[in-house]
Structures are given as C-alpha cells and as structure tokens.
Amino acid sequence: MSLSKTLVAATLLSIANLSSPAFSADEYNTSSGLTAAGAPLGMHGVDPVTFVNLGNRIDGAARHTAVHDGVAYYFSSKETMDKFTAKPAAYLPQNGGFCTFGVSVGKKFDGDPQFAAIVDDKLYLFLNEEIFREFQKDEAGTIAKADENWKKIRTTAAKDL
C-alpha cells in the first residue's frame, strides 16, 4: 500500500473513531440496557420535572418517555414530559446525572435521585447518604469544584478516572 493510501486509511479510521459512541464515553449516568425508546434510562426512572418543581422523587412511567441527547427519561404524566421536551436544560441533572461530590473530586459515581439537592434551581444527585451529608458541609464549594472538573472529565469513561 502506498504512503498516501496508508495516510488516507489512517485518517478515515480516526474520523470513524471520533464519531463513534465511545468518543462520548459516559457523558450521562444511565442504567445498563435500553428502554423501549431504544436509549438507556437516566435518573433511575425518576421524573426530573416533578423532582425539580416539587422536590418530590416520583417515578416516571415508560408510556411517558422523552429522549434527550441519547438518554431516555420517564415522566409521571404527559404534562411533565411536555415541560421537559420544551426546556430540557431546566430539568436535567447536573454533571450528566453523576454524583456531584464524585465529580468534584474527579470521579464519576452513580447519582441516585434518592440523595439529591436542588440548588439555584439546578438538580444535583449523589451516590449515597454519607456523600450527600459531605456535600451539605460545603455546597457552594463542591458545586464549583464539580463545575470545573466536569469540563475536564465529561467525555472520559468512568473506568478511566
């Protein structure tokens, strides 16, 4: 194979790798497997709109599913699903749904809606009660560190951190 053909082949392979799902590894915390919508489930099936608006953790239902950026979210009603599809950024959990405290220290741990906080109208999820209590000691500092680290680790696979 000539040098130019080798370079073209290498370039095409590189482009193919950049466009593959692995390039955006673990940008969202999702369950394994796919929903009926053909996308993995986010927020453990909890309705993000109800959570943000009421502070209640209410499970959504598969019949009210919206897919945003390759992640399926369940909603408790058509109304909450419609609110989400109109303005998803207002309801999406921060840091891709990973544990905010974990992201603040450069890791991607599961974000469990059972342990969550709404700060400045934004939803933050945490690994467990102990980690949530650590977050409460310095909410602003943890969020600032997580915001900074998220920019660096967003496209890095959790296993590589």
Which has the higher per-residue pLDDT, 19 or 26?
Answer: 26
Tens-digit pLDDT profile for residues 36-58? 999 999 999 999 999 999 988 99
Ranges of each domain in the chain: 29-88, 93-156
Tens-digit pLDDT profile for residues 87-134? 999 999 999 999 999 999 999 999 999 999 999 999 999 999 999 999
Number of CB atoms found within 10 A of residue 5's CB: 9
Residue bearing tokens 């466009």 = 19
Average pLDDT, stretch 26-44?
Answer: 91
Q: Mind giving me the DSSP string for 32-66?
A: SS--TTSSPBBGGGB-HHHHHHH----B-EEEEEE
Tens-digit pLDDT profile for residues 135-157? 999 999 999 999 999 999 999 99
